[in-house]
Amino acid sequence: MPRRTALIVAVPEAERAVGAYRLEHDWSAGVGVPAHLTVLFPFVPPDAVDEAAIGAVVAQVPAFAFALAAVERFADGTVWLRPDPSAPFTALTRAVWERWPEYPPYEGAHDEVIPHLTVSEEPIDVMIDLPIHARATHVTLIEEDEDSRWHERSRFPLGG
């Protein structure tokens, strides 16, 4: 299987609240992906990553504070946390996607990109003390290795 990359905003402030749920109900937690909001996945193959270009695009979006403010569910049962505000996450995704249009979010599977932090891919009841306050200061490039584990490759600071 070819190795993959993703651009994310990691949210370490959420790990204590959602970590156990994610380990049990979200495949990505078990392979090293931290609690996060996705900017773009899948992204370019590891050998085609242009880190300077990523840094330039990401720096156009100012750093911002946000709160994970509500538990939501998608129609398929996925449980997730809604960021407030969500517009800066949408702006990040849009900026990266405009630069790399051949990599649409979620391979173009959804008409609308909804910024979210996945808690569970299954319909479960969760007890999470909200809001969780955080600050997005950088975007992280994560990369899948030959053993299907994910690791941080680089960080790119947001602007301002």
Give the tens place of pLDDT for each residue, 2-42.
699 999 999 999 999 999 999 999 999 999 999 999 999 99
Indicate whether 36 belongs to any domain.
yes
Indicate whether 127 belongs to any domain.
no
Average pLDDT of 52-64? 97
Average pLDDT of 29-57? 97
Domains of the chain: total:
1
Question: What pTM, to 2 d.p., does this model score?
Answer: 0.95
Indicate whether 75 belongs to any domain.
no
Residue whose entry in the numeric block shows the structure tokens 């990505």 = 28
Indicate whether 91 belongs to any domain.
yes
- β-bridge mates for residue 68, sequence order: 83, 132
Write out the two tokens for 27.
């495949």
The answer for residues whose C-beta is within 8 angstroms of residue 119's C-beta and 6 or more apart is 18, 21, 22, 25, 26, 71, 79, 80, 81, 126, 128
- Burial class (CB within 10 angstroms; exposed 0-12, middle 13-18, buried 19+) of 159: exposed
Share of the chain above pLDDT 70, in %: 99
Indicate whether 32 belongs to any domain.
yes
Domain that holds residue 42: 5-64+87-111+137-157
Indicate whether 94 belongs to any domain.
yes
Indicate whether 30 belongs to any domain.
yes
Residue 82: predicted pLDDT = 98
